[in-house]
Amino acid sequence: MKILFVGQKNSHDGYLNDYMGDLLLHGLREVYGNNVIDYPGSWHLYESESKNLDKNRLWGKGITTSNILNDYNLIDRSDIKKKIKNRFFDYIIYGSARRNNYLLEEAINYNNKIILVDGEDDNYIESKILNKGLYFKRELKSYHKNVLPISFAIPKNKILKSESFNPNSLLSPLVPGRLKTYIYKDELSYYNMYQKSIFSLTYKKAGWDCLRHYEILMNGSIPFFLDLGECPTLTMTNFPKKIIHDINSKFEDIFEYYNPFRIFKKKYLNLKRINNFFTFKFKKINLDKFLSKNEELLDYRYKLLIYTKNNLITEQLAKYVIKKFNEIEK
């Protein structure tokens, strides 16, 4: 199988990477190898090409998504226009369709199979390209004809391999949106923080889907996901929303131990949380006793890790996109 993957042509807001497209490309390469041609070349993902890259040019400093591909110079990126004309590729995938639809009209004119991926944070659907291929939308709020949901995924080699668990924190010290808690300069220290935490705070920011949710899961921590029940059904369709919502509901009171003014933005504050904080203020939580009393948390943690390994990896993302295209084409 031959696949042309068209990535973003220019940097977006000064950043080279695009999570949705980059993760899909990784999955396609894992499944189909070097038969996946990235064009014009997502060099920032390749270990050999990005050795001297300033990590500040990557959103999130490239954590989880940098140095995940190899063999940059073994990919044949020659004669792309000619190959499109001759229908050389089985599929042409636009990994960031709203930012770069290079040669889309040519691809349509020569009856190529086209997949359009919209990984933006908003709910907007680009009508100009909507009917020019099968459209996958990340933040899909409601049903649209010819539009399917798509979600983030993670490289499987990033998932925690050790089954031992020795937490030093009930709730991870990183608070999304509070920049003073962003103290982790590299991937190892960032992952270790989650691996040492029973729960980790996360919530919707610009969009519901966020790589942080998956990084929490892959490191063996349980997401404490604010207002997860409000997430649209067609957004984050592969995410274990129900089990996480159930866990969070069951253990919500323990989070009153933490200063709600520190971990919650204004929209999440309420009188109950503020009152309960003063009730729990002088209470110390012994983690060993806490886990002994709540052994089901270890089972939840294990089940979520297994779910992550089986369902939230980039290979599954790639297979999903190709499978859905083939089903609709029939």
- Encode pLDDT of 196-236 as tens digits: 999 998 999 889 999 999 999 999 999 999 889 999 999 99
Helices (H) and strands (E) in the chain, counts: 11, 9
Report the pLDDT value the prediction gives residue 95, as an integer from 0 to 100. Answer: 94
Say which DSSP state 313 is in: B
Pick 152 or 131 by higher pLDDT. Answer: 152
Report DSSP letters for 50-70, one per residue: -TT--GGGSGGGGTTTSS-B-
pLDDT band at 280 (very low <50, low <70, confident <90, very high): very low
Q: Please say if the pLDDT value at position 249 is more than 80.
A: yes
Residue 4 and residue 89 in contact, taking contact as beta carbons nearer than 8 Å: yes
**The model's pTM:** 0.90
Q: What is the pLDDT of residue 43?
A: 87
Whole-number mean pLDDT of the chain? 88
Which residues are CB-contacts of 65 (< 8 A; sequence separation ≥ 6)? Answer: 17, 19, 22, 23, 26, 45, 58, 211
Domain with CATH 3.40.50 in the chain: 3-153+313-329
Distance CA 239, CA 254 (A): 24
- Closest by CA to 35, choosing from 69, 7, 6, 74, is 74
Using pLDDT thresholds of 50, 70 and 90, give the confidence band for residue 307. Answer: very high
- Percent of the residues in the chain that have a pLDDT greater than 70, as a whole number: 88
Q: What is the DSSP letter of 40?
A: S
Work out the burial of residue 105: count CB atoms within 10 Å of its CB; fewer than 13 is exposed, 13-18 middle, 19 or more buried. exposed
Phi, psi for 137 (deg, rounded to 5): -120, 130
What pLDDT is attached to residue 60? Answer: 82
**What's the CA gap between 8 and 166, in Å, rounded?**
41
Residues 6+ apart with CB under 8 A from 83: 4, 89
Contact at 8 Å (CB) between 175 and 262?
A: yes
Render 143-182 in DSSP notation, one character per residue: --TTEEE----B-GGGS--------SEEE-S--TT-GGG-
14-71 pLDDT tens trace: 788 889 999 999 999 999 999 999 998 888 899 888 777 888 888 888 899 988 999 9
pLDDT digit string, tens, across residues 61-109: 889 998 899 999 999 999 999 999 999 999 999 999 998 888 999 999 9
- List CB contacts of 310: < 8 A, sequence separation 6 or more: 316
In the prediction, which pLDDT does 268 show? 54
Give the per-residue pLDDT at 278: 43
234-to-91, 144, 239, 245 alpha-carbon distances in Å: 25, 10, 11, 16
Backbone angles phi, psi at 65, to 5 degrees: -115, 0
Give the per-residue pLDDT at 330: 67
Q: CA-to-CA distance for 42 and 71, rounded, in angstroms?
A: 12
Domain spanning 3-153+313-329, CATH class:
alpha beta
Higher confidence at residue 329 or residue 21? 21
Q: Hey, is 239 helix, strand or coil? A: coil
Amino acid at 136: F
Q: Is 229 exposed, middle or buried (0-12, 13-18, 19+ CB in 10 A)?
A: exposed
- Residues of the chain with pLDDT > 90, as a percent, come to 61
Q: Note the pLDDT of residue 247.
A: 94
CB atoms within 10 A of CB 247: 21
Assign 176 a pLDDT band (cuts: 50, 70, 90): confident
Give the C-alpha separation, 316 to 56, whole Å: 29
Residue 36 to residue 214: CA distance in whole angstroms? 25
Look-up of token digits 């539009």: 147
